[in-house]
Amino acid sequence: MSIEIKISKKKIPYKMAMLSLNKRVEEVKNGKNNELLWILEHPTTYTAGVSFNKNEIIDKKIKIIKSNRGGKITLHNPGQKIIYFVIDLNKRKKDIRKLINSLENSIIQFLKNYGIKAKNDKKNIGIWVNKKKIAAIGIRVSRWVAYHGCSINISNNLNQYLKIIPCGLDNKKVTSISEEITIKPRKYEKNLAKIFIKNINSI
């Protein structure tokens, strides 16, 4: 199964990325294009998943973009890597839990490369380091094509989380790689993609 790997060096506006992602979803559904793994960054953007609550917006001045992904309100900003995907589960096991497990394992393995011991939580989706969230996962499935993705905090400004209650959590319970270690990861995108592709293809 061929998964196209796309790595964007420039920051992609959220709405532009969604237009491209949704277009690929329809193409994959209709057998007109390959599956996709897309690694990128967004300019500072607050997005709200289908289960968000307005009470989770602390700073009422910020602009919120509504999304059809699962989950609540979250932040995307420079220094945070987004891993979007379009995966056809018709070609694999039709098991959403296994897909989520593969995403969780990919993030845990990536963080292990930097000596960061992370784990998942059965009650709260995402990846955690010392009870602080370092990565978020939000997916949607249509006709067994899964899409949207994950975000991993690398070296982003965590203070911007103070304007919201991220993922329904206390905003002090968020961390990043640069908060946990002194070394800033460099040129890691290809390795990150390799880890994700391997785990997704094991479904």
The string of pLDDT tens digits covering residues 26-61 is: 999 999 999 999 999 999 999 988 888 888 999 999
pTM for the full predicted model: 0.93
Catalogue all structural domains in the chain, each as residue range(s) with its CATH number. Answer: 3-200 (3.30.930.10)
Per the CB < 8 A criterion, the answer to whether 7 and 187 are in contact is: no
Going by pLDDT thresholds of 50, 70 and 90, the confidence category of residue 123 is confident
How far are the Cα atoms of 30, 82, 126, 135, 137 from residue 150, in angstroms, in the given order?
24, 6, 9, 7, 4
Is residue 91 within 8 A of residue 161, CB to CB? The reply is no
Q: Which residue has the tokens 């969604």?
A: 18
pLDDT in the model for residue 124: 79
Amino acid 51: pLDDT:
85
Residues that are catalytic:
167
pLDDT of 150 strictly over 60 = yes
| 125, pLDDT greater than 90 | no
Residue 64 has a pLDDT of: 94
Per-residue tokens: 14: 């959220």
pLDDT at residue 1, rounded to an integer? 61
Pick from 20-34, 35-49, 97-111, 115-129: least confident: 115-129
pLDDT at 172: 61
pLDDT tens for 160-202 read 999 998 866 665 689 999 999 998 888 899 999 999 999 999 9
User: Using an 8 Å Cβ cutoff, are 73 and 165 in contact?
Assistant: yes
Please give the pLDDT value at position 119: 96
Q: Tell which residue, 136, 26, 16, 125, has the closest CA to residue 65.
A: 16
pLDDT of residue 69 exceeding 90? no
